[in-house]
Structure 1
Amino acid sequence: MKLLKAKQLEVHPPLDLETYMFLAQVKGMEGKDTVELLSYWSKWAPSLKVYRLGEKKGYVLAYLGQEVDMEVDEIWDKSPAMGFKLEALAQTMIMGVMRYLLPELSSTKCAPVPKPNKILKRSLGKIGLEFSAAGALNYKYSTITFFPYRGGCELCYLKPSCPKAMFPKMDDIFKTNNPG
């Protein structure tokens, strides 16, 4: 039974306010809001787990523990606005890990999700993770992608259901038939 070697990595990305503001859909932030976000960032940092699976070619994954899932859910129930902000913060942390490990990922590129094959599922199971046939890990704030970087959307298992892929082709929308 083949398994991919799992190695836990220590990755602690800095808070990328630009990514956060994009995900939280805010144009600017006050100092007190930034301080509050930084307090959650520091609080959640120990819950961040990052693994590399495989040797030369394989996968990298990052996730925040169940305690973060529960905390965001509780806050969401009390204040949907704050819950939304904290969900964006959790997503920013996961994206920060991916961009740190895969510099090829920019704000315009996604980390493609691999197909949940038997070897990958068994290897993840050894470290306590489940990878569903739908392409999701069993943690709300998590992702898995190819390592080293191998390409974008064309490799993604989730491509048929991706919101980005659902947008109509915009290449010709602003072109006119006027030659001049």
Structure 2
Amino acid sequence: MKILDAKEVDIKIPFDLEIFMGLAQVRGLEGRETAEMIEYWNRWRPDLKIFTLGRKRGYILVYMGRDVEDELEALWDQSPSKGFKLQALVQTMIIGVLRELLPEIKENQCAPVPKPGTVLTKSLRKIGLELYEDGAMNYKYSTLTFYPYRDGCEICYLKSSCPKINLPEMAGLFKAGE
């Protein structure tokens, strides 16, 4: 059975305050909050793992390590508002990597999820990750998409359940202004 080559990638990504503020649903941050977010960014950045799978055409995998997952879980228990902001910080890191490696994501706003086939599943298992039949992985903060970028929503395995695509069809369920 074929196994895709896995290569760890190390790239520097800057803290994108605009993406963070959108994900954290805040309009602004006080200086001390910004400093705290940058502190977490710098401390957690080494736990952000980035892999390419395959050679010329394959996949990009980005995930946050277990230590950060565990720390973030404890922070949620102590302060849900802080946990929410720090979760947005981890999501900002992942989006930053994707935007750096796949500039098309800025325009398309989507990182299509590949179908969990046998070769992909075994290749991920070899580096300690599980890809489940529903497209989820065994790391809470993780993303797997095509590398180089391919086709957007049209080929996404999660297309049938994506709120971005399907929400307009559910418009009658929501009242105006809510």
TM-score (norm. length: structure 2): 0.92
- Report the 3-state secondary structure (helix = DSSP H, G, I; strand = E; otherwise coil) of the residue aligned with 2:59: strand
Q: CA-atom RMSD, angstroms?
A: 1.3
1:63 match: 63
- Report the 3-state secondary structure (helix = DSSP H, G, I; strand = E; otherwise coil) of the residue aligned with 1:29: coil
CA distance in structure 1 between the partners assigned to 2:162 and 2:49 by the alignment: 25
Offset from partner CA, 1:62-97 (integer Å, 9 cap, x none): 001011111111010110000000110010101111
CA distance in structure 1 between the partners assigned to 2:65 and 2:118 by the alignment: 24
CA distance 1:150–1:107, shift in 2 (3 Å): closer
CA distance in structure 2 between the partners assigned to 1:163 and 1:20 by the alignment: 21
- Report the 3-state secondary structure (helix = DSSP H, G, I; strand = E; otherwise coil) of the residue aligned with 2:85: helix
CA distance in structure 1 between the partners assigned to 2:8 and 2:123 by the alignment: 13
Q: Given that residues 12 and 45 in structure 1 are in contact (C-alpha distance below 8 angstroms), is that contact kept between their aligned partners in structure 2?
A: no
User: What residue identity is the alignment partner of 2:67?
Assistant: E
CA distance in structure 2 between the partners assigned to 1:100 and 1:84 by the alignment: 24
CA distance in structure 2 between the partners assigned to 1:164 and 1:127 by the alignment: 31
CA distance in structure 2 between the partners assigned to 1:76 and 1:34 by the alignment: 19
TM-score (norm. length: structure 1): 0.91
1:121 match: 121
1:15 match: 15
Q: Given that residues 108 and 152 in structure 2 are in contact (C-alpha distance below 8 angstroms), is that contact kept between their aligned partners in structure 1?
A: no
Q: Given that residues 50 and 61 in structure 1 are in contact (C-alpha distance below 8 angstroms), is that contact kept between their aligned partners in structure 2?
A: yes
1:107 CA drift (Å) = 6.4
Question: 1:76-91 to 2 correspondence within 5 Å?
Answer: 76-91=76-91
CA distance in structure 2 between the partners assigned to 1:102 and 1:30 by the alignment: 32
Q: Given that residues 113 and 158 in structure 2 are in contact (C-alpha distance below 8 angstroms), is that contact kept between their aligned partners in structure 1?
A: yes
1:35 CA drift (Å) = 0.4
1:25 CA drift (Å) = 0.6
1:105 match: 105
Identity, % of aligned positions:
57
Q: Which has the larger radius of gyration?
A: 1
- Report the 3-state secondary structure (helix = DSSP H, G, I; strand = E; otherwise coil) of the residue aligned with 1:40: helix
Q: Runs of 4 or more off by more than 4 Å in structure 1? A: none
2:72 match: 72
Q: Which has the higher helix share?
A: 2
1:108 CA drift (Å) = 5.1
- Report the 3-state secondary structure (helix = DSSP H, G, I; strand = E; otherwise coil) of the residue aligned with 1:167: helix
Offset from partner CA, 1:99-144 (integer Å, 9 cap, x none): 0100111165111010000000000011111101010111111100
CA distance in structure 2 between the partners assigned to 1:92 and 1:108 by the alignment: 17
1:96 match: 96
- Report the 3-state secondary structure (helix = DSSP H, G, I; strand = E; otherwise coil) of the residue aligned with 2:29: coil
1:43 CA drift (Å) = 0.7
**2:46 counterpart of 1:42:** no
1:175 match: none
| Structure 2: unaligned runs, 5 residues or longer | 170-178
Aligned length: 170
1:166 CA drift (Å) = 2.5
